[in-house]
Amino acid sequence: MNCLKTDICIIGGGPAGYVAAIVAGRLGASVALVEKEHIGGTCLNWGCIPTKALLKTSEAMDIVKKCNEFGVNAAVSSVEAGNAVARKDRIVKSLRAGLEHLLKSPEIRILKGEGFIETPNKIRVQTDNGAVMVDCDKLIITSGSKTLIPSIPGMDSEGVITSNEAINLTEIPESMTIIGAGAIGLELATLFSSMGTKITVAELQDRILPQEDPEISAELLKVMKRQGIKFKLAANVKEIKKVDDGLATIIEEVENKSEIVSEKVLVAIGRKTNLTPDIESLGLKINGKTIAVNEFMETSIPNVYAAGDIVGGRLLAHLAFAEGRAAAENACGGRVKVNYNAVPSCVYTCPEVATVGINETEAIEKGYSIKTGRFNFRNNGRALCQGHRDGFVKVVADKETGIILGAQILGNNASELISEITLAITLQARAEDLANMIHPHPALSEAVMEACGDASGQAIHK
């Protein structure tokens, strides 16, 4: 068995792992990065990037459908799913190549294979060329998460897929039932609906995006219904079975039982952590199925750190970036903390959803006396020019100090607009600071300004 001595060994090459490797390498540590599949993890290869590439195709199709509204005479053509998937693959391949180039450093050694933690200082990596024993001073566990598959009879039926298979479909299904109305389910509902698939979404909770602000959920539901997407809420999926014309999804609602027949069934109920037996056998403190860490990303075992999905919370790539950076800096002697009060979350539906900080309900539960501000995109000049009038910006601020506690945005380019509020929360800015800041005109960001103005009694166009 080959041996490798290194300062830090990182298990998992996803967002937390590869960022940790780059940061630790730049700080002068020797690093072994272990990844059994592709560098970039789920986000780059199967999640964030592939879905957004395909959603751009969805957006293009929507523009073609609405071209007459903009004074353009063009025939609506069908989507070539194979070409869309090929474009997605090119984008993923390009980004992966760029990432691998960043990791080409004398300090970083990439080991492609499955890592098994034998002790906190010894990791056996099974590669195609045999086993390598990594002897490390410190260990960072960034093993990520994987698709959660529910225990429903018929889940193994042909035609039942997960998001991994959905992003590689080269033929557009005529109909699809999506189980789960979280971010993954709704993004894929948006994608396939725009391409002509008849979509029905079944959700166990009584509203879509159950983790988000109720007003955002309710408004997005109205918009998606207008787009032709059907919903079954408070619906418990009991079984999936083959029938003559496809797959029947049997659901139990409050007062009745029904079935949805479709060509495909997409399971999108969420993800679960990759808490492998070797990790559990280390004797780390575990919370449910996640590794417990302190504010410095340290586990209960000295010199062992963890970051990303494996530590729980919101499973977001950009949060994993921050946690991976913190873990690496702290493994190299720092005392860095992640600011969990300023973590944006985005759902790339049409329109998009973006939130940061806490919403009204959460603020009240935490004991804050609050004031809120709101501005609708239908009153924003740029939104009307772009043909995207749905949605609003809502800001939550502390009533006494005016400091912004959170914001929720439903609208076009919400994922870009949320960064202004994220910066405000990071700097503990007041609503009136953003209301008085000069914004470009016409611009979608004026809706943020006006919502902050509404919260501080200074709105101009409301």
DSSP letter string, 298-335: B-SSTTEEE-GGGG-SS--HHHHHHHHHHHHHHHTT--
Secondary structure element (H or E) that encloses residue 89, with its range = helix 81-102
Does 266 fall in a domain? yes
How much is the average pLDDT of 91-95? 97
446 and 346 assigned to the same domain: yes
Q: pLDDT of 163-174, one tens digit each?
A: 999 999 999 999
Distance in angstroms (rounded) separating the CA atoms of residues 228 and 280? 46
Of the three residues 248, 270, 292, the one that is the final residue of a domain is 270
127 and 276 assigned to the same domain: yes
7 and 137 assigned to the same domain: yes
Does 461 fall in a domain? no
Of the three residues 340, 365, 391, the one that is the final residue of a domain is 340
Residue 75's pLDDT is 74
Strands 198-203 and 230-233: parallel
283 and 370 assigned to the same domain: no
Kindly report which listed range (32-36, 91-95, 116-120, 255-259) carries the lowest average pLDDT score.
255-259
Only one residue has tokens 């890592």, namely 115
Domain count, the chain: 3
Residue 169's pLDDT is 97
Q: pLDDT of 8-19, one tens digit each?
A: 999 999 999 999
- What are residue 355's DSSP bridge partners? 345, 408
Distance in angstroms (rounded) separating the CA atoms of residues 193 and 400? 45
Residue 184's pLDDT is 96
Would you please indicate which residues are annotated as catalytic (active-site) residues? Answer: 441
Residue 68's identity, in one-letter code, is: N
DSSP 373-427: EEEEGGG-HHHHHHT----EEEEEEETTT-BEEEEEEEETTHHHHHHHHHHHHHT
Q: What is the CATH number of the domain that holds 437?
A: 3.30.390.30
Of the three residues 245, 270, 295, the one that is the final residue of a domain is 270
Residue 288's identity, in one-letter code, is: G
- State phi, psi for 352 to the nearest 5 degrees: -80, 160
Q: Residue 53's domain spans which residues?
A: 2-146+272-340
Residue 65's pLDDT is 86
How much is the average pLDDT of 246-262? 93
102 and 232 assigned to the same domain: no
16 and 122 assigned to the same domain: yes
Question: Measured between alpha carbons, how far is residue 396 from residues 226, 292, 366, 370, 454 in Å?
Answer: 29, 31, 13, 7, 11
Does 151 fall in a domain? no
Does 154 fall in a domain? no
pLDDT at 43 over 90: yes
Residue 55's pLDDT is 97
312 and 413 assigned to the same domain: no
User: How buried is residue 256: exposed, middle or buried, by Cβ count under 10 Å (0-12/13-18/19+)?
Assistant: exposed
User: What is the 8-class DSSP label of residue 283?
Assistant: T
Q: pLDDT of 124-150, one tens digit each?
A: 999 998 999 999 999 999 999 999 999
323 and 378 assigned to the same domain: no
Residue 78's pLDDT is 79
Task: Kindly report the number of other CB atoms within 10 A of residue 332's CB atom.
Answer: 18
Does 201 fall in a domain? yes
Strands 236-243 and 246-252: antiparallel
Only one residue has tokens 């919502």, namely 451
Position 256 confidence tier, pLDDT thresholds 50, 70, 90: confident
Strands 198-203 and 175-179: parallel
Q: Which residues contact 304 (CB under 8 A, 6 or more apart)?
A: 120, 138, 139, 140, 141, 282, 284, 298
Question: Measured between alpha carbons, how far is residue 62 from residues 89, 128, 163, 227, 390 in Å?
Answer: 22, 46, 22, 11, 15
358 and 326 assigned to the same domain: no
80 and 164 assigned to the same domain: no
